[in-house]
Amino acid sequence: MNISEPTENSNVLESSSKIEVDYQLKIKLQSAFNKGLSHFRQQVKAPKKNGHVGYKTKSGGKNYDYVLLEDLIKAIDEGLKDTGLAWYQDCETANGVVRVRTIVTHENGYSKSSSWMEFKTSGNPQDVGSAMTYAKRYSLGTTFGVSSEADDDGQQANDTTPNRNNSQRKNTSKPEASTKQQQTTLEGLFKAMSKAANAPIEAVRNGYLEKAGVSQSNQLSHSKAESLIMLVISQLNKQTEKGNSND
């Protein structure tokens, strides 16, 4: 036998050795990536909610505050200093559908991608641009676990504070209906959760709507839609972290 020719056993050993080396390398790269994320969470500061939305209702007015995309980007970029991490986003538009995902990379070459977040629009350039900004903010905030969504706690406190004029007045007005944007946002979040949880979107959608006591998103009130959006984002964030820990 020619000793220079590899035997079948030696090929198996070499293959097993390579697999072990690749596995150990992946563990090492992932460990550095996770360490960078941990460092980020320790030093990131919550961005201020400088975005404001107000609208009138039969009972008065509502005000919602949220984080602007540029302020969210600034907060995350500052939090990423000295972590070895960076990020970018893939954005696509086709037939009025906007798709965005966020990719986080480490200087050692390791990277992770979020699920695609999709939003349907009318196709109007203004609607597409608005949905793109919305999707970027949701995807970026969800990926890094930084809240950027509407906050009406202060307004709710004002609404429930009794005064001389309304403390004895019975409120008979109907709740403000959910907006088209809220319904579009929920549909995009349902799709993202469906992919993250590897579950049929119908089951995900029906499950959340059942919790809200409705069968369709257009039956939601404005406040219930906002609460449901926050709930799905929170659980999508946990699902993403769970998936990362299982990698």
pLDDT 10s digits, 115-129 = 888 888 888 888 888
Q: Which helix (H) or strand (E) holds 203?
A: helix 201-211
Q: Which of 104, 98, 134, 125 is CA-nearest to residue 33?
A: 104
Whether the pLDDT of residue 242 is over 70: the answer is: no
114-118 own/partner pairs: CB under 8 Å, 24+ apart: 114/139, 114/142, 114/143, 114/240, 115/192, 115/195, 115/196, 115/240, 116/191, 116/192, 116/195, 117/142, 117/188, 117/189, 117/191, 117/192, 118/188, 118/191, 118/192
Q: Which two tokens stand for residue 171?
A: 């409120």
| Cα distance between residue 148 and residue 16, in whole Å | 47
Whether the pLDDT of residue 75 is over 90: the answer is: yes
Q: How confident is the model at residue 194 (pLDDT cuts 50, 70, 90)?
A: confident
Q: How confident is the model at residue 162 (pLDDT cuts 50, 70, 90)?
A: very low
Give me the pLDDT at residue 202, please. 85
Q: How confident is the model at residue 61 (pLDDT cuts 50, 70, 90)?
A: low
> Between 51 and 149, where is the model more confident?
51
Q: Which residue has the tokens 């959006």?
A: 229
State pTM to two decimals.
0.57
Q: How confident is the model at residue 196 (pLDDT cuts 50, 70, 90)?
A: confident
Give me the pLDDT at residue 171, please. 45
User: What average pLDDT does range 29-44 have in this prediction?
Assistant: 91
Whether the pLDDT of residue 15 is over 60: the answer is: no
Whether the pLDDT of residue 73 is over 50: the answer is: yes
Give me the pLDDT at residue 6, please. 53
Q: Find the angle CA(81)-CA(137)-CA(113) to the nearest 5 degrees.
A: 65
> Between 18 and 139, where is the model more confident?
139
Give me the pLDDT at residue 157, please. 31
pLDDT in tens, 80-107: 999 999 999 999 999 888 999 999 999 9
User: What average pLDDT does range 32-52 have in this prediction?
Assistant: 89
DSSP class of residue 217 equals: G
- How many CA atoms within 13 Å lie on the side-chain side of 37? 19
| Cα distance between residue 102 and residue 139, in whole Å | 6
| Mean pLDDT computed over every residue of the chain | 76
Radius of gyration of the chain (CA): 24
Give me the pLDDT at residue 101, please. 93
Whether the pLDDT of residue 243 is over 80: the answer is: no
Spatial contact of 137 and 114, defined as CB atoms under 8 Å apart = no
Whether the pLDDT of residue 60 is over 70: the answer is: no
